[in-house]
C-alpha cells in the first residue's frame, strides 16, 4: 500500500478532465488520481479498487452526476462524495442532495478544490471510525453544508465585506434572522437596547457566532421526521446554554478570542449528530429512547447498541467533512468523552465535555423528556475548585431561561 489517498474524478468532458490533470499535477505525490469520462466508467473504477474521495460533475450525458453519486452512496457508503455543479443545475442538485457530502461551484478554484479534497479525505483517518461513514450512507437525505453558511464563508474571504453585507445574507433567510435576533436580544447578552437589525446583531455577536447559528439552523431545516417526543426547542436551548457557558469559561480562563469562538461553536454544534441520527433513523431512535427509559445507560451507549455509532462521532465526522476547524470537530466528537481523549490542558474539547456533564440534568436526554443526573466520572482530572467555578457560570446561563 502506498499510503496515498485515492481520488476519483468523473466528468464527461475530456477537456475538463485534462484541465484537472494539469491543475492537480502537484498532488501526485499525495494522491493516487483516476479520471473517468462517464458515470459507468467511474463505477467500473470503483469496482476495481476502493477510493477515499469521489469528485463528480453533476451535468453529464447518459448517467448524470445525481444518479452516479446515489449509486456510489449505495454501493460504497464509506467513500466521500463531492459534486461540482453550475448555477443552472438546480434540478440535478436537488436530486443529488442527501447523497453528496458537499457541493462545489463550477468553475472551482484549484486551491479550494485541493483544500476541500484534502480535508475530506483526512476525516475518516483522523476520527478513526469508518463505521460512521457506513451509517451515514444509510440515511436517505444526508445534510449538506447549508447554502447560507457557504455564502457567509465566501463573503468573509473578501476584505471589503461589511457587517451590512452579512446582514443582507441573514435577511434572505427568515428563520436564521429570527434565531439571530432572538439570541442577541436574550438574557445571554444582557444588552440595554433591543436590536432589530440583523447587521447590528452580527456586530454584537461576531462572525463565528453567526457561522455557528447558520450551520445549526441549516441542519435543522434539512432534518426529516423526528421520533415522537423529540423536543427541538429543548435541543436549541441546551445548545445555546452549552455554547454561552463554554465561551464564558474560556474568557474567564484567560483564553484568546479565537479559542473562545471555538468553544462557543463547539458547544453550539455539539448535538448536530443527534439531529442527524434522530431524523435519519426515527424507528431506531424510538428503540434508543425506550432503552434509555428502561436502563441507566448513557445515551451514547444506547446509540451504539442500536445503531452502531453515537451522535458525537456522527456530528464530528460530518463537520470534519465540511471543513470546520479541528478543535471544533474534536469538541463535537468528544462531548461525551472519554475525558482522556481531550489531551492535557485547556481545550474546547475539554470545556464542552465538562459543560455537557455538568448540564446533563438539562442536556441530551432532556430532548426526549428523560432525566439523567450529573455523571462525575466524566469530570475526573479537573480540580474541584475549577469545576465549581464552571458550574456557577453554567447555572447563571440556565437561570436566564434561554433566549427571550
CATH number at residue 40: 3.40.50.2300
Dihedral Cα 381, 382, 384, 385, nearest 10 deg: 150
> Rounded mean pLDDT of 302-323?
88
Chain segment 193-207, per-residue pLDDT in tens? 788 898 998 998 888
- Do 164 and 227 belong to one domain? yes
Question: How high is the pLDDT of residue 403?
Answer: 46
Residues with Cβ < 8 Å from 72, sequence gap 6 or more?
Answer: 42, 43, 46, 54, 56, 79, 81, 99
| Residue 75 pLDDT exceeds 80 | yes
pTM: 0.78
Could you tell me if residue 134 is inside a domain? Answer: no
Of 129, 87, 127, residue with least CA distance to 108: 87
Q: What is the pLDDT of residue 376?
A: 60
The three-state secondary structure class of 105 is strand
* Any domain includes 177: yes
Lowest-confidence range among 136-145, 253-262, 380-389?
136-145
Residue 340 predicted with pLDDT over 50? no
Q: Is the confidence at residue 372, as pLDDT, over 80?
A: no
Please report the pLDDT score of residue 269 as a whole number.
Answer: 93
CA distances from 153 to 48, 73, 149, 284 (A): 38, 27, 6, 35
Give residue 71's domain range.
5-127
Least confident piece of the model among 132-146, 228-242, 366-380? 366-380
- Residue-level pLDDT at 211: 92
Percent over 90 (pLDDT), the chain: 30
Q: Which of 99, 127, 155 is the C-terminal boundary of a domain? A: 127
Is there a single domain that holds both residue 66 and residue 210?
A: no
pLDDT category at 151 given cuts 50, 70, 90 is confident
Residue at grid coordinates 453550539 = 268
Amino acid at each position: 500500500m502506498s499510503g496515498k489517498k485515492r481520488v476519483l474524478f468523473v466528468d464527461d468532458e475530456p477537456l475538463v478532465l485534462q484541465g484537472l490533470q494539469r491543475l492537480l499535477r502537484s498532488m501526485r505525490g499525495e494522491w493516487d488520481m483516476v479520471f473517468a469520462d462517464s458515470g459507468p466508467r467511474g463505477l467500473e473504477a470503483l469496482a476495481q479498487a476502493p477510493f477515499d474521495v469521489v469528485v463528480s460533475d453533476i451535468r453529464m450525458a447518459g448517467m448524470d452526476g445525481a444518479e452516479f453519486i446515489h449509486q456510489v452512496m449505495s454501493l460504497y457508503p464509506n467513500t466521500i462524495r463531492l459534486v461540482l455543479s453550475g448555477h443552472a443545475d438546480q434540478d440535478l442538485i436537488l436530486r443529488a442532495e442527501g447523497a453528496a457530502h458537499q457541493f462545489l461551484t463550477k468553475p472551482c478554484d484549484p486551491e479550494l478544490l485541493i483544500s476541500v479534497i484534502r480535508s475530506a479525505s483526512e476525516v475518516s483517518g483522523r476520527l478513526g471510525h469508518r463505521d460512521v461513514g457506513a451509517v451515514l450512507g444509510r440515511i436517505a437525505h444526508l445534510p449538506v453544508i447549508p447554502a447560507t453558511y457557504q455564502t457567509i464563508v465566501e463573503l468573509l474571504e473578501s476584505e471589503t465585506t461589511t457587517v451590512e453585507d452579512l446582514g443582507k445574507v441573514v435577511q434572505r433567510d427568515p428563520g436564521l434572522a429570527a434565531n439571530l435576533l432572538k439570541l442577541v436580544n436574550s438574557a445571554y447578552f444582557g444588552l440595554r437596547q433591543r436590536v432589530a437589525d440583523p447587521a447590528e446583531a452580527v456586530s454584537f455577536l461576531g462572525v463565528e457566532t453567526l457561522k455557528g447559528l447558520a450551520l445549526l439552523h441549516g441542519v435543522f431545516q434539512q432534518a426529516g421526521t423526528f421520533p415522537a417526543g423529540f423536543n427541538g426547542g429543548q435541543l436549541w436551548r441546551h445548545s445555546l446554554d452549552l455554547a454561552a457557558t463554554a465561551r464564558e469559561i474560556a474568557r474567564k480562563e484567560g483564553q484568546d478570542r479565537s479559542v473562545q469562538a471555538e468553544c462557543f461553536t463547539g458547544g453550539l454544534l455539539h448535538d448536530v449528530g443527534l439531529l442527524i441520527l434522530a431524523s435519519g433513523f426515527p424507528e431506531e431512535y424510538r428503540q434508543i429512547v425506550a432503552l434509555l427509559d428502561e436502563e441507566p445507560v448513557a445515551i451514547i451507549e444506547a446509540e451504539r447498541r442500536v445503531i452502531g455509532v453515537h451522535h458525537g462521532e456522527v456530528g464530528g465526522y460530518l463537520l470534519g467533512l465540511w471543513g470546520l476547524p479541528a478543535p471544533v470537530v474534536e469538541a463535537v466528537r468528544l462531548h461525551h468523552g472519554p475525558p482522556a481523549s481531550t489531551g492535557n490542558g485547556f481545550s474546547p474539547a475539554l470545556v464542552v465535555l465538562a459543560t455537557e456533564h455538568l448540564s446533563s440534568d438539562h442536556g441530551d436526554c432532556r430532548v426526549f423528556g428523560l432525566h439523567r443526573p450529573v455523571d462525575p466520572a466524566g469530570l475526573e482530572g479537573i480540580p474541584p475548585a475549577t469545576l465549581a467555578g464552571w458550574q456557577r457560570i453554567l447555572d447563571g446561563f440556565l437561570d436566564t431561561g434561554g433566549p427571550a
